[in-house]
Amino acid sequence: MSRELVVAAAQLGPIARAETREEVVERLLVLLRDAAAQGAQLVVYPELALTTFFPRWDLDDDELLTFFEREMPGVATQPLFDEAARLGVGFHLGYAELTPDGHRYNSAVVVERDGSIVTKYRKVHLPGHEEPEGWRPFQHLERKHFEPGPDGFHAARAFGGVIGVALCNDRRWSETYRVLGLQGTELLMIGYNTPLHYPPDPEQDHLQGFHNNLVMASGAYQNGMFVVGVAKAGVEEGVEMLAESQIIAPSGEVVAQASTSGDELVIAVCDLERCERYTRTVFDFRRYRRPEMYGAITARDVPSVDE
């Protein structure tokens, strides 16, 4: 028996600071129609897919808020929702969310093939720094511009399986995959914006692609799930961003990968039944896990080895 879902990772090339929402949505629509023509049932766009990666600047409140969505869908994004429903294709969309009471989150929604929102996720692990640091060639002010997501990781039933969402830096933390794996997640979507240059330790620069695959492939294998990693890539406002969008099977193998750093579809048939090959065998959580041994993972203070 198989349970096949055709998934398209819709990698985006750079988005300019001055690019309008309407212009970006037009690019998203081109990818959506192309994906639908190739049989995709789910199109996964990256993190902050409607704007440039604005945390690279220290912005005043007026300009900062121009990068946020007050509604989802809103006027500019409604055409994407309408066209996806018309085509019978679902999608994942990362965006900056401004709530009615003024909270700012780095968020994503997953929309089913009938146009209904299945789940909304607010990024848990915010990387970078709280205040501008003049020595950096560019900033990474996610910790200034966003609040950490308060809702945690929640799997949802959709697309004939169990899906989960994480965003960018979340993919470097094994807890992300395990918390979702424990809920039975079969397909995890992870949009990312990853500069190739890491100012605190440039020795890591040449390893960005290696680390990207390392964490997502390990997470896929150790939790028996498909992982769809989708980049906003290319040279965006002078900063080179990692491409290498990829779809990874529960075996940890890459089944499809981007070969450019621009707008590109990466498509794979994901048979969600393949997850059980791992979750019923080597990673049968109920049978083999020893949670009573893992208290340090959720304890706030852990005694050091000398205490």
Residues catalogued as catalytic: 47, 123, 168
From candidates 3, 21, 113, 172, binder to ligand CDT by CB under 6 A: 172
The DSSP element (H or E) to which 218 belongs, if any, is: helix 208-223
168 binds ligand CDT, rule: CB under 6 A: yes
CB of 56 to ligand CDT, least distance (A): 10
* Residue 134, Cβ density class (10 Å: 0-12 exposed, 13-18 middle, ≥19 buried): exposed
Between 136 and 277, CB nearer to ligand CDT: 136
Between 101 and 201, CB nearer to ligand CDT: 201
Kindly write out the interface string for residues 254-273 of this chain, putting x where it contacts ligand CDT by CB under 6 A and - elsewhere.
Answer: --------------------
Between 146 and 159, CB nearer to ligand CDT: 146
The CA–CA distances, whole Å, from 260 to 206, 238, 245 equal: 17, 18, 9
Between 10 and 168, CB nearer to ligand CDT: 168
Contact 183, 155 (CB under 8 A): yes
DSSP state string for 86-114: HHT-EEEEEEEEE-TTS-EEEEEEEE-TT
Query: What's the chain's length in residues?
Result: 307
Please give the order of strands across the beta sheet that includes 117-122. 117-122, 104-111, 90-98, 42-44, 4-11, 264-271
Nearest Cα to Cα of residue 152 among 121, 183, 186, 108: 121
CB of 162 to ligand CDT, least distance (A): 24
169 binds ligand CDT, rule: CB under 6 A: yes
192 binds ligand CDT, rule: CB under 6 A: yes
41 binds ligand CDT, rule: CB under 6 A: no
From candidates 90, 94, 128, 161, binder to ligand CDT by CB under 6 A: 128
127 binds ligand CDT, rule: CB under 6 A: yes
CB of 294 to ligand CDT, least distance (A): 24
- Distance (Å, rounded) from C-alpha 81 to C-alpha 206? 38
- Distance (Å, rounded) from C-alpha 84 to C-alpha 25? 12
From candidates 122, 140, 145, 178, binder to ligand CDT by CB under 6 A: 140
Between 171 and 274, CB nearer to ligand CDT: 171
Question: CB 71: neighbour CB atoms within 10 A?
Answer: 12
Between 128 and 234, CB nearer to ligand CDT: 128
11 binds ligand CDT, rule: CB under 6 A: no
CB of 94 to ligand CDT, least distance (A): 10
* Residue 59, Cβ density class (10 Å: 0-12 exposed, 13-18 middle, ≥19 buried): middle
CB of 192 to ligand CDT, least distance (A): 5
* Interface positions with ligand CDT (CB under 6 A): 47, 127-128, 140, 168-169, 172, 192-194
